[in-house]
Chains A and B, each alone.
Chain A
Amino acid sequence: MNTQFKKGVLELIVLISISNKDMYGYELVLEVSKIVDVNEGTIYPLLKRLTNEKYAETYLVESTEGPSRKYYKITKLGIDRMNELESIWFNFSKAVNDFIMEVKK
């Protein structure tokens, strides 16, 4: 899949994922790669950006089996952003689907 295209959707997927439950970085990588084939290098910068833009906040939790993990938690602002992206996505995909259907007919 086109990388630019993927990046755009990635933000939405990550926001939805952490709105469901707080997750740490690698957990998110695994979760997201279930849906899209993504280079995990792009996920961390995205998480960084989301925290910088206050869509998500972080906290540390000590893990019994290694170093402490940084968990990502969605903020109210992040939920607004998620809803916005969601509606954009639905409108966009609907428009594209409609177009394809119409032409293919």
Chain B
Amino acid sequence: MNKNEFLNELRKRLKLLDNGEIDDIISEYSVTIDEKIKNGKTEIEAVKDFGDIDELAKEILSAYKINPDYKEKNSNSDIDNIINRINEIIKDLSRKVVDIGNKFLNKMKIESNNDKDTTTIILELLFKVIIVLFIITILRLPFVIISSIGSALLGVGNFSFSKFTVLTFSILMEFIYIIACIYFGSLIINKFIFTSPKRNTPTGEPSDNNKDTVFKYKEDVNNKSNEVNNMIVAEEKKDKKNKDIVTIRESNYSNLKNNSGCSSIIMILLKLFVILVFIVPLIALIVISSIFLIFFFLLTISGIPVIGACIALIGGIILTASLINIFISIISEKTNLKITPIIVSIVLILVGITVSVNNIFKIEYISDPYKDNINLKSSEYIFEVNDETDINVGSSDYTKKIDNTITDNKVYITVLYSDYIISNVEVVKMVDYIDFKYSIQKENDFMYFKNIINKIKDDLKNNKIYDYDKLRNIHIKIKANEETLDKISIVRNIQYRDI
């Protein structure tokens, strides 16, 4: 093994550690190998002196109190490998972006040396503004996703919520969005914008953050029992060292800031992206599923067989939770994954679906609720009509029925409606037309919702389900003798019908 091979192998085995620590260890070994080569050893010999690389890696890991066998135990799992790969891709990607960014910044620095400070500052500022805008755009994403999921779910029942509810909800969402923007924005501004000026003007004070590069030099002569002469020499040496160290520290400090500042920004951005695009919607999904689970559970208690949906929902929640776990482990760069919950959840979903399908086949779907005449209110009206009379049915369905026992110019109109949804049905006879007026109940959103749920519940108990959208319209039955029916004309006036 030559030096590079050795260092690469060692790096692989130390993956568990923090990147900075790994770099630190690798550089130490690299320096030592160079030193040995200088003292007359060959590269191969120098590496050989370290002994078995596995043993060495174990020793190093145990210095961090890490169980060195941890990796080997888990390396069998495919998902771990996938996550490791994703991690590596993210790291590679960020490293590359950082390289490009550094080149860019270096270029700008060179320019700034040629008395172009203002342009550099403006360019940097622009760069930062673009990043901030980018973050704000990304932050928008989960809200779009959540609201589309939400509206899709709410759209299933075609329930119309009052404008107030919608407004409150959207205000709440905007509020969360703004808070998220402020939080992440400040995070990034702290990390990036306020640290970058230090890059150009490093301060003389040592910072405790950078353990290894920062020099903590304290005069501590007490512990030494040297002779006076030696002490003086040592003091001189120390002074010289001190100067060297300060300059090194400054350069290292600036480099460190430059690199880690940028790379941590990109890591934050990538992690933020994962959080926003995957984790936040998944959490929202869990919340929604839980609400549905409670709802279905209550339905089950009240006698409607939706236990299959409950099982499937539990499975879904477990699956979503394990997906969140996967994403979190990607972000925190840990791989503590368990495959059992995923399998359990998939089994639960399959069982739930099978049970539900079995139940669903029993349910009869009736596309026209007015044909199956249950729980509907009806009111009957009798009108005198002539040749001029139009019956304005609007967008409602109607049926004509000939009944020759009825006298001429008389029309029987029956209005069928579901009083869960429609109230205030009124049939008005004007000079030359008959008009229908009704309104959809929504004085109280909750009651309206509850009524519909109760209706669906009752229907499901009879293994029937209707196209409830049709119940938002009334159904008109027109009955007259043949002659009268020919006389009148039925028109569809697409007007807004609410009173």
* Chain A interface residues toward B at CB < 8 A: 19-21, 25-26, 29, 39-42, 44-46, 48-49, 52, 57-62, 65-70, 74, 76, 79
Cβ contact of A45, chosen from B27, B34, B60, cutoff 8 A: B60
Complex CA–CA separation, A44 to B36 (angstroms): 15
Complex CA–CA separation, A20 to B7 (angstroms): 31
B212 pairs with A45, CB closer than 8 A: no
Complex CA–CA separation, A60 to B51 (angstroms): 26
A66 pairs with B223, CB closer than 8 A: no
B32 pairs with A39, CB closer than 8 A: no
* Chain B interface residues toward A at CB < 8 A: 25, 27-32, 34-36, 38, 49-52, 55-56, 59-60, 62-64, 211-213, 215-217, 220, 223-224, 234, 241, 244-245, 247-249, 252
Q: Which residues on B sit within 8 Å (CB–CB) of A21?
A: 234
Cβ contact of B55, chosen from A29, A41, A68, cutoff 8 A: A41
B25 pairs with A48, CB closer than 8 A: yes
Q: Which residues on A sit within 8 Å (CB–CB) of B249?
A: 60
Chain B nearest Cβ from A11, distance in angstroms? 11
Q: Which residues on B sit within 8 Å (CB–CB) of A49?
A: 62-64
Chain A nearest Cβ from B450, distance in angstroms? 62
Chain B nearest Cβ from A25, distance in angstroms? 6
Q: Which residues on B sit within 8 Å (CB–CB) of A65?
A: 38
B223 pairs with A79, CB closer than 8 A: yes
Q: Which residues on B sit within 8 Å (CB–CB) of A20?
A: 224
A19 pairs with B252, CB closer than 8 A: no
Chain A nearest Cβ from B346, distance in angstroms? 43
Complex CA–CA separation, A60 to B31 (angstroms): 12
Most buried by A among B38, B59, B64: B59
Cβ contact of A66, chosen from B34, B213, B252, cutoff 8 A: B34
Q: Which residue of A lies closest to B58 (CB)?
A: A45
Q: Which residue of A lies closest to B37 (CB)?
A: A66
Q: Which residues on A sit within 8 Å (CB–CB) of B52?
A: 41
B38 pairs with A44, CB closer than 8 A: no
Chain A nearest Cβ from B43, distance in angstroms? 15
Q: Which 4 A-B pairs have the closest CB atoms?
A: A49-B63, A45-B59, A41-B50, A48-B63
A68 pairs with B248, CB closer than 8 A: yes
Most buried by A among B25, B28, B215, B252: B28
Q: Which residues on A sit within 8 Å (CB–CB) of B27?
A: 67
A40 pairs with B49, CB closer than 8 A: yes
Q: Which residues on A sit within 8 Å (CB–CB) of B252?
A: 60
Can you list 11 A-B pairs with a CB-CB distance of less than 8 A? A20-B224, A25-B28, A41-B49, A42-B59, A52-B63, A57-B216, A60-B252, A61-B245, A66-B31, A66-B35, A70-B28
Q: Which residue of A lies closest to B61 (CB)?
A: A45
A45 pairs with B63, CB closer than 8 A: yes
Q: Which residue of A lies closest to B49 (CB)?
A: A40
Complex CA–CA separation, A65 to B28 (angstroms): 16
Known: A29-B32, A40-B50, A41-B50. A70 touches B212 (CB 8 A): yes
Q: Which residues on B sit within 8 Å (CB–CB) of A44?
A: 25, 28-29, 32, 60
Q: Which residues on B sit within 8 Å (CB–CB) of A42?
A: 59
Chain B nearest Cβ from A44, distance in angstroms? 6
A67 pairs with B248, CB closer than 8 A: no
A59 pairs with B245, CB closer than 8 A: yes
Q: Which residues on A sit within 8 Å (CB–CB) of B241?
A: 61
Known: A41-B49, A41-B51, A41-B59. A62 touches B32 (CB 8 A): no
A26 pairs with B56, CB closer than 8 A: no
Q: Please give 5 more A-B residue pairs, beta carbons under 8 A apart, in addition to A41-B50, A49-B63.
A: A45-B60, A46-B63, A49-B62, A61-B245, A62-B248
Q: Which residues on A sit within 8 Å (CB–CB) of B248?
A: 60-62, 68
B35 pairs with A26, CB closer than 8 A: yes
Complex CA–CA separation, A45 to B62 (angstroms): 8
A39 pairs with B50, CB closer than 8 A: yes
Cβ contact of B216, chosen from A26, A59, A66, cutoff 8 A: A59
Chain A nearest Cβ from B57, distance in angstroms? 9
Q: Which residues on A sit within 8 Å (CB–CB) of B245?
A: 59-61
Chain B nearest Cβ from A28, distance in angstroms? 10
Q: Which residues on A sit within 8 Å (CB–CB) of B220?
A: 76
Most buried by A among B38, B211, B244: B244
Complex CA–CA separation, A45 to B55 (angstroms): 11
Chain A nearest Cβ from B29, distance in angstroms? 7
Q: Which residues on A sit within 8 Å (CB–CB) of B29?
A: 44
Complex CA–CA separation, A25 to B213 (angstroms): 16
Chain A nearest Cβ from B59, distance in angstroms? 4
Q: Which residue of B lies closest to A46 (CB)?
A: B63
